Amino acid sequence: MEYVKIDAQGRLVIPARLRKLLGIVGETEALVRVEGRRIVIEPVSRDLEARVRKWVEAALNSKAEPFSGEGGESWKWVSAEYAGRKLGLLP
């Protein structure tokens, strides 16, 4: 928590340490809302293409392997019959 001064025009400076912590670089858009007696400032990115690129990069780097077909005994927990028996809905 840090104290800041709000000038006569309602402007404040977010300290460099906090900007760095939140990844605010240069001009950044933010959402501002009131919660009770608090003002909440939340940095946002409206650059959809950049966000999608970042998500795709993360997904590709996850090295996840696709699968299909029956999983055999190790996948019995997804069987409706097995779940019904465990929940006491089937004999």
pLDDT in tens, 29-47: 888 999 999 999 988 877 8
pLDDT value of residue 37? 95
Long-range contact set of residues 61-68: C-beta below 8 Å, sequence gap at least 24: none
**Domain parsing of the chain, residue ranges:** 1-47
Q: Residues 30, 22: contact at Cβ < 8 Å?
A: no
- What are phi and psi for residue 57, nearest 5 degrees? -60, -45
pLDDT value of residue 52? 86
- Provide the β-strand partners of residue 39: 34
Q: What does DSSP say about strands 38-44 and 29-35: parallel, antiparallel, or unpaired? A: antiparallel
> Domain 1-47 carries which CATH code?
2.10.260
Considering only residues 69 and 60, tell me which one the structure prediction assigns the higher pLDDT.
Answer: 60
Looking at the chain, the whole-number percentage of residues with pLDDT higher than 70 is 86
